[in-house]
Chains A and B, each alone.
Chain A
Amino acid sequence: MWNYIKKNIAYFLKKRHQPDYWKNYAESLKNIPTKSIEESKFVVFDCETSGLNPKEDRILSMGAVTIRGNTIDIKDNFEVYLEQDIFNRESVAIHGLLKKGKLKKVSEEQAIKNFLVYIEGAILVGHHISFDVACVNYALKRMGLPKLKNKVLDTGVLFKKTKHQLYAEAFTKVFSLDEVCDELKVKKKDRHTASGDAYITAIVFFKILGRLNRNNDLTLKELFFTPKMIY
């Protein structure tokens, strides 16, 4: 009991001391569900990390693009490379980011700050996005901040929705981004750079929306609704 009260007090104290950028961010997320798909702001994002453990490993680079209507504005994209304190030899082969590369790098704190501004009022989209969100959440924790508050869409899940219920095996399967690209005929270029993956995922997202919206009556609510799978 005492512990519970202590925890609550700590929480409110913390909340009062939250920095302005976090407050702005939290404020921006208040009235999303009322908008239509056309009017919504989607941010498709991807992180390259030093490994597959969100707690231990660190974000190396982040890439994101914004979708409004059915348009991506290239000017308005997000791409940062982070200073690395945890370096993992094995993953270099995948992302090709060196500890001291030529690219201009920023601190983790700065990167997350910029990212929060970028995703203000947006719905986050990504392929197997729970991993990317978890990575960002641990980074937020290190900065003493709560978890991300955005609504989240996973293209891996959405892709399954495009399949007819008859193809039961599709629902149990986990689709990698490569598989989804092959099936939707999306060109895979710059795979395993954060920006490249974010762009590819955005195209995948477009194509999935196109397939789900054949009758032009798709609502945002339906997009978040995952039907009960028949096994």
Chain B
Amino acid sequence: MKNTIAERIADFIKMYPPFDNLPYNELYKLAEETRVIYLDKDETLYTQGKPPKEHFFIVNQGAIRIYRQEGEKTIEVEMCDEGDVLGLRPLIVNENYTLNAKAYEESIVYAIPIQNFNKQFENNSEVSKYLITRFASNSATRFSQEDNERIFADYKRTTNTDYFSSKISNLMTTAVCCNHKSTVQEAASIMSENKISSIFVLKKDKPAGVITNKDLLHKIATGKFTIDQNVKKIMSSPVISASPDISIAEAQIIMLKNKIGNVCVTKDGTPESKLLGMLTQQDIVASLSNNPAILLKQISRARTIPRLRDLRQQLNDLLTRFINQHISFTHTLTVVAELNETINQKAVEISIKELNKIPPVRFAFFALGSQGRKEQLVPTDQDNGIIFEDVPDDKLESIRAFFIELATVINKNLHSIGYEYCPAEMMASNPKWCLSKKEWEVQFKDWIFNPTEKNILLSAIFFDFNFVYGDKELVNDMTAIVHESTDDNNRFFMFMAKDALKSPSPLGFFRQFLVDQDGAHKDQFNIKQRALMPLIDAARILTLQHNLQGINNTAERYYKLRELEPQNAEIYEACAYAFKALLKFKTKNGLATLGEDDGKFIKLENLTKSDKVKLRRCFKPIKSIQEVITIRFQPTL
């Protein structure tokens, strides 16, 4: 019998991972078994600690808030939007729900039975790939550090082929074993000698059990057993084993399911056959190149600028992959910003060597704008400056000349790495931005106490500076100067607020997006100016008002503000979320149009309907935060 509604559901889930690459008739079969659940605002979908039902969920309309309850505290984890899948992990790993899910607004959710899903897609590599990334991203956002390390894995570059086709026999290492007649003490000394955390107990050549650090802790150190007893008393058995012919991905699933860090490889995959070796989580991570840790190592070892350029290119690949695999965006942002900063540091270091002169006084090189806020994902133009120690007046110009020479080299090198020159000359090689500490102080005070339109604009750019290389104390002094002068300086805040409000809510009449009217980007939506800048500006002024030092990242600023002003917590929370979502949009777009611009112009016709809905949802907090600013600083008076 024809089922129109099932078709509709299949049409919907087809648009989202992991369903997007699956055959339609399979999805239709799945859709027929689906349930549609309606949730009013604040109704619960599932509760922490309860065993999972037979369904996992995909959001059709509305938004579901995922949070964790820790005693009295609730910790926000994620907001699931249209097309997001939730509640899947507990079903796969077979554990209770570790999180709560509640409707953030009126929502419709499809409940998909896990049994049918498993039956139909168990052997589909696209689906298992999705599942693994999903788990990786989940763990990166919220769970304990331990969990994080264990699950977090980066797959080999963009192809993924190795991860899914390469057999684990290529990766496995010799297992460290002891005889089943040994005592606990003997086993522990073997472990200690080999610096490993687990040991297999062999009976003939078959693995009979395994002893881990945890067993030693819980069973020996607590005094339940003594060290001269037989290993059999404390070992866990049977062991989790795998055949040498399975893929790395499958091995990782096995580890995930059983919550173990290593798996023993036997001849036919059961514990009843010969032990061949073992495979640890670390082996997998180490074998797959281009993971952030390895990239970081390579950057710090780089000696030439061309090498840095290659690495910056690899960083782009890494970013693309993170985004495609739906790794948590917060995590992506941190990783990329960290690596970006290291590249910059290295570039300065190489430049100083290239110049072959020793800096005459202490100095610091700092970044401004998006890089200063650690929000730069796709390389944009460089904004930076230099501060050096106070020197006697007669020497000032000669020392400035030296730093300008150095800065010119740095700027050139950064340019060859892939950071465009700043069209507004906001670079350290510009004599205006290569100043001594005293001169910066004068400059900052001028901006703060003479808030003309231009000065406010410069304040907005410069007050997000972040230390890159040199003497960190100088930069800290600069921060102190800024905060000292802005403290309770209502006049300055008023002007800043006016500037922050200059781009009104990005939605026009009839909920249409406001697009550029003319110029090269006619009919495109400027996501940076219209949506990101209002959020960034608002965060800056509020942190200045609270005298918060050392937090530059906009999302982090909002999280901090949430703690300081519980009465506005909801708005700040929403702003942080919206900011991340918008930045992700910009980054995706920037990666797609790499080289043209950094992705700030979005062509509306390229957006899907659900993208538009998501964007719109992000605009609501902009309006709320602008209201907060208007009321607090009264810029219209």
Chain A residues close to B by CB (< 8 Å): 63, 65, 70-75, 77, 79-81, 103-104, 187, 189-190, 193, 195-196, 199, 202-203, 206-207, 210, 213
Contacts and interface: CB of A to CB of B under 8 A. Distances in A.
A103 B31 CA distance: 20
A190 B8 contact: yes
Contacts of A187: 61
A72 B1 contact: no
A79 B38 contact: no
Contacts of B3: 74, 77, 79, 195
Contacts of B38: 70-71, 203, 206-207, 210
A74 B37 contact: no
Contacts of A73: 35
B461 to A, nearest CB: 40
Interface string B5-26: 1101100000000000000000
A42 to B, nearest CB: 12
B8 A77 contact: no
A63 B36 contact: no
B285 to A, nearest CB: 42
A177 B289 CA distance: 57
B4 interface: yes
Contact of B4 (A190, A206, A207, A213): A190
Chain B interface size range: 20 to 34
Which of A70, A73, A74, A196 counts the most chain B CB atoms within 10 A? A74
Nearest to B1: A79
Given A207-B106, A210-B106, A70 B37 contact: yes
22 contacts: A65-B5, A70-B38, A71-B38, A71-B111, A74-B3, A74-B5, A74-B9, A74-B32, A79-B1, A79-B2, A81-B2, A104-B1, A104-B2, A187-B61, A195-B4, A199-B5, A199-B8, A203-B38, A203-B108, A207-B38, A210-B38, A210-B41
Given A74-B5, A206-B108, 16 more contacts: A70-B39, A71-B37, A72-B35, A74-B31, A74-B33, A77-B5, A79-B3, A79-B4, A80-B1, A104-B1, A189-B8, A196-B5, A203-B38, A206-B38, A210-B106, A213-B40
Nearest to A193: B4
Interface string B376-417: 000000000000000000000000000000000000000000
Interface in B149-200: none
B553 interface: no
A73 B36 CA distance: 6
A61 B596 CA distance: 54
Nearest to B609: A187
Contacts of B106: 207, 210
B281 interface: no
Nearest to A72: B36
Contacts of A74: 3, 5-6, 9, 31-36
A81 B2 CA distance: 10
B15 to A, nearest CB: 13
Nearest to B103: A210
B32 A75 contact: yes
Contacts of A202: 36
A193 B5 CA distance: 10
Which of B9, B36, B41 counts the most chain A CB atoms within 10 A? B36
A189 B111 CA distance: 20
A197 B6 CA distance: 14
B40 A196 contact: no
Which of B5, B6, B32, B111 counts the most chain A CB atoms within 10 A? B5
A65 B35 CA distance: 11
A130 B39 CA distance: 28
Contacts of A63: 4
Interface string B75-106: 00000000000000000000000000000001
B116 to A, nearest CB: 10
